[in-house]
Amino acid sequence: MRILILSKKIGIYSTRRLAEAGRERGHAVKVIDPLKFNIALLNGRAVVTYRDKHVLLPGIVIPRISGTINSFGMSVVKQCELLNVPVINRSSAIALARDKFMSAQCLVAKKIDVPATAMIRNPEDIETALNLVGGPPVILKLIEGAQGIGVMLAESRDSIESTINAFFSLGQNIIIQQFVSESKGRDIRVLVVGDKVVASMRRVAKAGEFRTNIHRGGQGETIALPRLYEDIAIQAVRTLGLDVAGVDIIESTDGPKVLEINPSPGIEALEKINKQDIATEIIRYAEHLVKPRQSP
């Protein structure tokens, strides 16, 4: 089977491991930066070219679309879908997961709990939003962002107002979210592949930081994941229509709450902490998706 991994470079740990795992299982794997494709719609059909040549269609596409190439990258994924190529995480599901408020709306519709969250567009509504989410302090988030980018802890009304007004002036929407103090800079990352949890870890923020992201200096540690958390993670991923995703859950006095769902989760910390071959799990899932299409 030909596998195409859409990623900025092979040197990224998760990309490299997926390529290694695919080749170890006998597949032909290519890693191409999605920004290097040309895509077009000609005479009612989708066309993809790379270096002025038409692309030989792969058996499956694995997108590793970062926030910095989100829009064009998702257009490349959609182009593959138009060409009837199986994709792990469809473009519509990636877009939904990237939108923090809309994805939270979908979770709540399925009775999956999230921290109290508000989105406003007028400065005069800041006080109302703060009362709704029980702050300050509060977490301020851009609608889109990954690896902790665009996530801020605001502890006073002055800092909240100045930050929100600055983003409003730039035409940015911003989310105001409950700060769950009892989580104490800790959350749980759960990796779901298909309909099962394949790995998990507790993430602990570094001293002086509230964000637990590994890219922000957070540390991971092993955890015996309760069944309730497994069920929530699987349901959350299914709700957004994703195949593979990382689900971030915080432990509150009211029970577990889903913070975010990452459609391009890193696997480095999970593999190393759990001493587990997660890349092969994902490749096996890719094989499972393609197999029915290849049956007579």
Domains of the chain by start residue, with CATH:
2-89 (3.40.50.20), 96-112+182-263 (3.30.470.20), 117-179 (3.30.1490.20)
Contact between residue 33 and residue 9 where contact means Cβ atoms under 8 Å apart: yes
Q: Residue 215 has what pLDDT?
A: 60
Q: Which amino acid is at 287?
A: E
Residues lower than pLDDT 70 in the chain: 67-69, 145-150, 207-217, 292-296
Find the Cα–Cα–Cα–Cα dihedral 26, 31, 37, 39, rounded to 10°.
40
Closest CA to 231 of 258, 252, 213: 258
Q: Residue 27 has what pLDDT?
A: 97
Distance CA 289, CA 50 (A): 25
Closest CA to 243 of 109, 63, 67, 85: 63
Q: Residue 145 has what pLDDT?
A: 60
Residue 7 tokens, joined: 């990623």
List the beta bridge partners of residue 196: 193
Q: Which stretch of DSSP H or E encloses residue 289?
A: helix 278-294
DSSP assignment string, 198-247: EEEEEEEPPTT-----GGGT-EEE-----HHHHHHHHHHHHHTT-SEEEE
